[in-house]
Structure 1
Amino acid sequence: MSKNVKNNALAQNKKARHDYNILETVEAGMVLTGTEIKSVRASRINLKDGFAQVKNGEAWLMNVHISPYDQGNIFNHDPLRNRKLLLHKKQLKQLGEETKKKGITLVPLKVYLKNGFAKVLIGVAQGKHEYDKRETIKRRDQEREIRRTLKNY
């Protein structure tokens, strides 16, 4: 019997695509405790202020809030603890080199389940200026208006 191949988005960082230009994306596994994975499966995760770093040849997911599990006991986890990301050595090396460039950061874009494992989509991102954000909003509104007028005809 084949494994469940369902991409189920549990959390998304919608603000990331507004604040950053995403240059490329990388899928990574997360090292989670028992109560953390139960909270993640219940979609009790917030990526809004999260970021990733490569330190000493390891990737870490920082400042991502996973709410404590409701039925957890004394073994419940710290909601803001740093979580290790599982990547191949080549990917770690490449991400480490990318983040050394000025203005490049690693941003979590979404968390989902794949074959029963929690995965995070990490974006190699470059910050946008305020005028770039306004341009993006203007372009999106124009495209929406074009679709609306074409729909009516």
Structure 2
Amino acid sequence: MAIDKKGTKQIADNRKARHDYFVLEQIECGIELVGTEVKSIRNGGVNLKDSWCSIEDGEMWVKGMHISPYEHGNIFNRDPRRERKLLLHKREILRLFGKVQQEGLTLIPMSLYFKGSRVKLALGLCKGKKLYDKRDDMAKKAAQRDIERAMKERN
């Protein structure tokens, strides 16, 4: 968990999404949570790996996000994989809905973080990568690592 300059504290990052998708745009949105879920998130009990977002009846929902039950929550704990509502303006939801419908893009949660005392979710408007794109990215990263290693040995 890293703390940025702006007072944000990173909770979880969806690295698999950056491997599988091209991120065209990122939007910050709030998320509707219960008290025990927030306490569990503070302990780092959240997984964004297989999560996605959908728009139903003009509301944005995140699905597949796993928040572990809080140890001391007893009867107040909720289902770890329940659908959670995202808090966006109606105009933003309609704009994203149009892009998803027309251009065939996907809404993927990219990261979860605290901004002050509030939990925020970075939502990515993504386009799927083909297998050759993934291989190309891995080759570029390996080449960059080799260059940095060579520069480090030289100095």
TM range (shorter): over 0.9
1-structure distance, mates of 2:28, 2:141: 27
Alignment correspondent of 1:130? 131
TM-score (norm 1): 0.93
CA contact (8 A) 1:103 1:127 kept: no
- TM-score between both structures, scaled by the size of structure 2: 0.92
**Percent identity, aligned pairs only?**
44
Matching residue's letter, 2:41: V
* Offset of residue 102 of structure 1: 4.8
Q: How does 1:130-149 map to 2 (within 5 A)?
A: 130-149=131-150
What secondary structure, in the 3-state scheme, does the structure 2 residue paired with 1:17 have?
helix
Aligned-partner SS, 1:70 = coil
CA contact (8 A) 1:9 1:113 kept: yes
Q: Give the letter for the 1:87 counterpart.
A: L
- For residue 143 of structure 1, report the CA deviation from its aligned partner: 1.0
The answer for the alignment partner of 2:70 in structure 1 is 69
Q: What is the rounded CA distance, in whole Å, between the counterparts of 1:15 and 1:73 in structure 2?
A: 32
1:103 CA drift (Å): 3.6
CA RMSD, aligned part only?
Answer: 1.1
Q: Write the distance in 2 (CA, Å) between the matches of 1:136 and 1:113.
A: 30
**What is the CA–CA distance in structure 1 between the aligned matches of 2:107 and 2:144, rounded to whole Å?**
29
Q: Distance in 2 between matches of 1:39 and 1:112?
A: 13
The answer on whether the counterparts of 1:51 and 1:61 sit within 8 Å (CA) in structure 2 is yes
2:99 matched to 1:98? yes
Q: Which residue of 1 aligns with 2:48?
A: 47
Confirm or deny: 8 A CA contact 1:111 1:121 kept in the other structure: yes
SS at match of 2:123: strand
Aligned length: 149
Aligned to 1:21: 22
Aligned counterparts of 2:120 and 2:44: Cα–Cα separation in 1: 13
2:87 corresponding residue in structure 1: 86
Q: Which runs of 4+ in 1 moved over 6 A?
A: none
Gaps of 5+ in 1: none
Q: Which residue of the partner structure matches residue 114 of structure 1?
A: 115
Q: Which moved more, 1:123-132 or 1:143-152?
A: 143-152
CA deviations on 1:85-140 (whole Å, 9 max, x unpaired) are: 00112211111111113541111111000010000101001111111100000011
Q: Deviations over 1:34-65 (max 9, x none)?
A: 11111111110000000011111111010100
